Each structure stands twice: as C-alpha cells, then as structure tokens.
Structure 1
C-alpha cells in the first residue's frame, strides 16, 4: 500500500500535478513509519521538499530536506545525504546565497564521487557551474557545465542534457554569442518536446524568448513566450504564468499595442502578487506605467509609477543583501589561492634561510656577547613594562568586550572575535518590531533641545530594558523610530510570543509616561507600534562605525504595520496572528483588510493582554 501511494505521488510530481502528489507522499510516509522502513521515510521527505521547491514554497522545502537528511544520517545512507545536500544548495541558490549554495554543492559532489554515483555527481557538478555563472565567472562555469554534459551525453540522460544545454546557452548570452546560445536553447527545446515534459519546455521556451528579447527581436520572442504561457497554464505554475504574462505584455507595449499590453501585464501582476515575487511585481508595474502613459491615461500611469518605485526600494534592499553574501563568496574563492601563495612563500623563506644560515654562523660569534647583553637589558625592560601594563590591558579588554556586546548580539560578537568577520545569514522566521512617535515634529517644537533629547533618551532607555527582558535584539534607532528583532538568538514560539509581550509593555510605558507629563504640564509623545514575522537576511555592513542590520521584504512589511497602526495600540500582521492566535495570554481585534503603502490591502489585528502573563524563559 505504501509503495503504491508513493509511486503514484512520483507520477503526479513528474506530470506537474503537485498538490495531489503532496497528499500521496504524506500518506505513504505514515505507512512507512508504521512498518519501520526508514529509508523510504527519508525518500518521502525528499520528494515533498522537491514538490515544495517546484511550487516556490522554499521555507517548507528547506524544512523537509533537513528532516530527510536527519533520517538518512541515522541509517548511514550516503546517497540520500548527498542528494539532500545538493537540493539544499538549490534552495540557497534560488535565494541568492551563492556562498552557501556552492558549499553544499561541493559537499554533494565529494560524496557522490566517493560512492561512484556518476550521474548525480554530474548533476551536482552542473550546479557548481550555475553558481560560477551567477557570480560572472563564466570560464569556470563553462568548465563545470562541459564536465557534466560529457557524463550526461555518455549515459544518454536526455532530461539532464536539456538542463545543461539551457545553462550553457545562458552563458553564451552573457558573452554576447547569440548564435551559439540559440543552438543550445534549441537543442534543449527539442529534447523537451520529444519527452513532452512541460517543465523542460517552459524552461527552454522562456530562455529562447529572453534571447530574442535581448536582441530587440520582439516579433521573434513573442511566439516563444506565448507557448510558454500555454504550458504554464496547463500545469498550474503561477510563477511561470506571471513571468510569461509580463514578458508578453512588455513586448506588446514595445510593438505599439498598449491596450493589449495593459491586459497582459495586469494579469501577470496579479499572479506575481500571489507568488510574492518582488522583481516580477516591479516588471509588471513598469510595463503598466509605460502602457498607460502611451495611450494618455496619466492617472493610472502615475499610480503604477509610484508602485514601481516602492518595489524598487525592496529590490535595492535585496540587492544589498546579495552583495554582502557575494562578498563572502568571493572571499571563499580566494582561500585556495591565498593558501597556495602562502605555501610558496614558506618554501622561498626556507630556501633563503638556508642560504643565509652559513653567513649568520660566521657573524654569530662576533655578535654573541653584545646580543646576550642586549637581550638581558630588553628582558628587564619588558618585564617591567608587562607588570605595569597587564592591569591596564585587562581593563581595556573588558571595556572593549562590553562595548562589542552592546553593539552586536552575543553570538555575532563571538563570531567576529573568532574569525575577524561575520558571515551573512538567512533566517527563515523572525519577527520585526517598529515604533514611531506620532506628530513628533509638532510636539518637539514645544520643547527645548535639551528636554527633547532627555525625553527621547528616557523612552529609548526604557525600551532597551524591555527588549533585554524579553530576549530580543535591538537593531537601531533612526530619529524617533526604534527597531528590534526577535528570533535571532533562538527561533521558536517563545520569540514570537516575547516580541508581542515586549511591544505591549512598550505601549504601557508610553501611555503611563504621557499621563505623567501632561499632569506636570509638559508636552508628551504618543506612539504607534507594529510587528510582522517572516524571513530576513542579517549581517554586518561597513568598516568604520559598522552596524549589524537586517534586510528583506519582511522589514518593509513590519514598517507598514507601524505606519498603519494607531496610537497606544500594538498592530500585528495577519501572518504573525496565525502563529500566536492560540496563545491564551492575548486577545485580538480583527481590523479587516487595511491599505498599506506599497503593499496594497493587508489583514491586520490589534493585540492586547487578556490576563497577567509570565516572561517566557
């Protein structure tokens, strides 16, 4: 029964019918657990993860791959471990974390080679080539693609040949060798058509459309995108549908068919919003702006122009994160070269020392007496200096470590001291808190500069104590705004619950403070506060006055939660609500779909304490 369900799930996955395949893998996995077939349990995790990857649910894919890897390690199944490493590398590649992706792919190639699995070794080698292509090292990329292609050709693995030819074609496009790119893409499409594999067909057709679009041959690009859209509709791939719709709409605009362009790009933008792709939404808004502008609808053109600018900000944040991770990749690539140079330098030094040794021996007897005297004087002076400075050095060391811990989370500070740098990290689930004082400028005008600074210091000092109490990390203050993150040092339900408790306590402090100030006859600040949860990238940027910071669309959304909130309230996103709605210590007030700048309508909730709670340890 378990085998039948599993094989049927594979069939649905191969034919791109993804939701039923997930159900079948889940049912077969339960049966395999009952009979103790742990290899098959791991296979089910792997298959579920691959399906999540195909439908772009990357966070669930990573979790499923990690669960499968644990099973394979326990039963010492090396091929399963290597496959999982390769697949996790694909996830990091799709997220733009090339340094981590390369590390996972290289580990996979070593294990596949060790166990003699040549086909999968070639697949992982092909993935290594993809990473080199992403960082524009085209010669290395082509070297790895060629190695993989030779294996696939020898083994007559048609699907793998198609994928590798598509990758080679993309390198030729980057190098401006369009004829060779067309040959590679066309071979990939012929294989896809013979196999009637919709995923391969979509890949090849999209690449051919991009090739002619790159050359401004819009009439030649259009049929490829149109056919790509047909196959995407057949298998229900929202990501591919959105890409094709926006590509067709953009070509319609360039061909002077602005009304047709509006229809296609609007459809593509709606799909991109469902998928959550910021870059696709940006392309859709650009297309609608140009198309509406072309036939004189300035109102709609202005609206989509503003939307495109907002999305551009999000893309710039992502690009910043990618540059940080790309720096880490380049550093990793230099390691081997640096090690080689160091080795050569050591050899040269040894040779030089051997040549100079005999000459030094001649002079040694002459210098011995003076050297001994000099060393004695130096040792006495050094001992005296050490005794005087040891205490001072300890004080300075303690002061430096305290300052570092005041700037960075403890785990990050330890990594910085140990390695001299900090690797950028992806966190799949953290919570972001933003605060902002309402009517800050008007209230500040009623206060002297000294009293203004003292009042802000009093508020932010209280916030610092609150975030320390609830084990969340303060990131920065910008003017009258305060930002903190939960889930960096530990990620579970405690971090989500604690950041909401912290937000409620901050609002309690501000309300009480406002009452006290007004009784005394002084102006007082009122505060909005918003929280959202999701994935981010975190790392250190800068050399002088460096800063630990976080990036990602989650940060933008959390900021919108704050600006869409109300004074004295804690406003949370519907995403965070789904995680904490079972917590008995909170009560919630649904606000409905509230418009958020740059995000459209979003579900929001006000949260408050339902009874007295204890700090979650």
Structure 2
C-alpha cells in the first residue's frame, strides 16, 4: 500500500511539475512576443513621425494599419491613442476631415483611458485643426479652449510650453477668422512666448504667418507685410513648406487687395509652385485665384485666362481626387473597423480564457490542457518558422548587407540593432534644380546616375554600406552592420574621393560649356538603430539623431568641402593622412550651434 501511495504521489508531482513548466514557458513566450511587438511599434512610430509632414502615400497608410494592429493586439491605450492620432492626421492631410475627426476622437478616448494629459491636449489640438481646415472656426475655437484648460494639469513646464505653442496658435487662427482680433493677438503672443522657450522650428513659421493675418485684419498693412515676409523667409530657411505656402497665399491676397499686383504675382507663383510640390490642396485654388486676379488687374488677359483655367482645373482635379480618395478611404476605414471588431472579440475571448484558466488552474487537468496548448504553440511556431524561411529566400532577392541576408536565412527575420559607433555620410548637389530647368529629364537622370554609380563604387571600395538615395542626395554609413574601428577614416576617405570625382566632372562640363553639379558633403559619428522596415520592397535603413546631425553637417557645409562633426573629428584627429580646418561653432537647423571642421588629405 505504501508503495502504491508513493507511486501516486510521484505521478501527481510529475503532473504538477509539468503544469508549472507549461505555465512558465507559455508566459515567457508571451512576454517575448509582447516585447517584439512593442519594439516593432516604436520603429513604426519613428518612421511615421518622420513622414507625417510629407505628402501622404499608400505606404504610410500600410504602416499606420500595422501600428494599429499591434496596439490593439497589446491592448495598450497609449499606443492605441498614438495610432488613431496618426490615422486622424493622415485623413486630414488628404482632405477627408470627417474621417479625420472620427479617428481623432477615438484617440482622445484612448488617451483618457491611459491618463496621458499631454497626448490628450495634442489630440484636442489636432481635432481643432481639422475643424479649422473644414472652415468650422467656432468648433475649432471651443476645442482649443478645452485643451488650454488642461494645461495646468501638466507638471512639467517644458512639456506644457511645447503643447502651448501649438494649441494657442491654433486658437489664434480660429479667433482671427471669427473676427475676434484682440483675443487672436493675445493667443498668438502666448504661442510665441511658449515657442521661445522650447524652440520648435516648425511652429515659428506658423506663428509669424498668423501675426500677418491678424494685423492684416486690423488694417495695419505695414506690420502685416513685415510678418508675412518673416513667415516666408523663416519657413524657407528651415525648409518647412507648409507654413511657407500658408503665409504666401495670404500675403498675395493682401497685395492684390491693395493694388500691388506685380508683387502679388511673385508671391502667388511661389505659393502655387511650392503648394503643388507638397500637394497642399487646401491652398492651391487660393494661389491660382490670386494669380488670376493680379494678371487681370495688370491687363494681361491671356495670363489671367490661363490662371482662371488653372483654378478650375485644380478644383476639378481635387474633386476627382477626392472622389477617388473617398473610395480608398472607405475601403481603408472598413479595414480598420474590422480590426476594431476583431479586437473586441479577441478581448472577449481573452477574458473568457482567463476565467477558464482560473477554474482549471488548481486541478491536474489544467496541467494537461496547458501541455496541449504548449504543443499547439510549438506547432504554430514551427509553421511560422517554415513560412519565414520561405520569406527569407524572397528577401535575398533584395539588396541587403551580407550579414543581414545571412541572418534572414538562419532566423527568418532580421532584428533591428543598436550600433553605438557608426559614421554617417550625406551628399547633396548644388545646382540640381537649375540643371533640371535646363536639361531634359533623360540627360538630367543620366548625369545623376553617373555620379551615384561612381559613389557606389567608392563606398564598395572602402567597405561602406550605401543606405539610400533621396532625390539628388546620397546617404551611406560605415561601421555597420558589423561594427569596426576604421569606420570614421573609411567614410572620410570615401567622401574626399566623391568630392574629387564631382570636381573633375565639373571641370569637364565647364570646358564643354555645359551645366555642372557641385557637391556638399557632411559627416557625423554616433549611435544608430539599423534594420529592415516594410513587407514589400523593404530596405535596410538606419534611424536616430546621428542621421539628423549628419544631414545638418551637409546642409551647414560649403560647396566642394567635406564638413565633419566634432564627434567624427575626435576619432580621426591624430590621423596624419588628414588636415583639419576648425570652423568654430556653426548654427545648424534644429540643432543649435555645433562644432564643425573641414577635412582634406595631407
């Protein structure tokens, strides 16, 4: 009998042990999946932040769709609020203000549940903006005031000032259009005061433009003109084209109203050209209208007729585009609604599963059930690995670093990695826009291809990874995906060879009497996150403040020079191959004053 009882106890112990192992293993696997999805969401968030002020595209929509999918899966209200906020911004950008408001209100509800006051204020600001874009200024004003009432709830003064600059400027827009000019002036002064503390480059242009609107309505034309010019010059200096178009349209209108039609032509053309480039549909019709008025008043009937036709054409094309966009939005919206319904069902199923597990947890049957679930998860994992292996073979058809391709072969995925020391290079051609006006598209692309092909050879020679080209800019990095200790030296040598190649081409073009390229090159060293993004036509890319600083090195440089940061200089300053010229502290857009150096070969 004792032996029989011992056997029963042993069996019970084994079953309990198996139950515990199954529970721990399942929890560990869920924790890993949760971390992977959270990391993926942060990568998507950074990409979407970067693309938010650019023309909206299907690729952005796909990324927003994936971000919402992850947020709903994790049932994280903070992430859900961010996802809905991006969706609201997307639909605002394409002119679908009704759909924009729908998602922004959902973002508000999620931010209330999460208790994130800052996000809630910013989302109220976005809702107010959508109302002003739809000409509902009273609603825009009321929502701004609702957000402003929450500012005292923010304990961090820096965060409070950051959101204040946005929402007070938005309030000023609504108050101006409602004719409450003194209140509008006070609101915009509050926005300016907050922005002087947080130094947001983007807000500077909007604030100056709104001062122009306010003083124009107050009939103080001299002050209005000063602010409109300031808005245009400042927005152009930081390359923020949306506020530039906003200020230009209203400035052109004011000039026409005061019979300064020749000046209105110049500003109107600026607004139309830049607005067309960035697809700022809200103001394209207004820009064409001001050009029509100016040409008509100056007696240029043909030109006036041309811009009248342009105005009609833009209106018609926008109507047609809106119809097409509405169909796409309807489909996209239904997909989102399906995900939300699926999320509700999954939450319900999850709650039921929790209840079921609570009932069976204290029984041995629960151990068997968990073992069965574990076996099922293993089977799913095996199937997933098989699918990922097949996908990895397809990914090899893309141009990827060798190490990343090998990782895809072995794991079925390539994890994003933080690399502490990478040297990033940016090039940009001066004269590209001028050449595009002279050369045919075929010849222009031929010249650009000649340069980029040589750049590719140079990067291969020094073991540098080409990241991508963006228009006429070229981006590469050394020290990744496998870190090394020579990346700074390698990148500088490559940059100098690129510079010399462009200079040699310039000399030949001058001799032949042809237009030529001139190049600026910037280099910075620091940490980056590197990895693969997307599903179709994905690419190896890098992110981080290092990338932004490298870009500022390029834009703050000079023609025919290689401009390096202090961080890069510290790594190579003892290298006798190079000769350095200190430039001192140079102001860089969005970065303040940075120490910079020109570098040459000895």
The TM tier, using the shorter chain, reads 0.3 to 0.5
Q: Normalization by structure 1: what TM-score?
A: 0.43
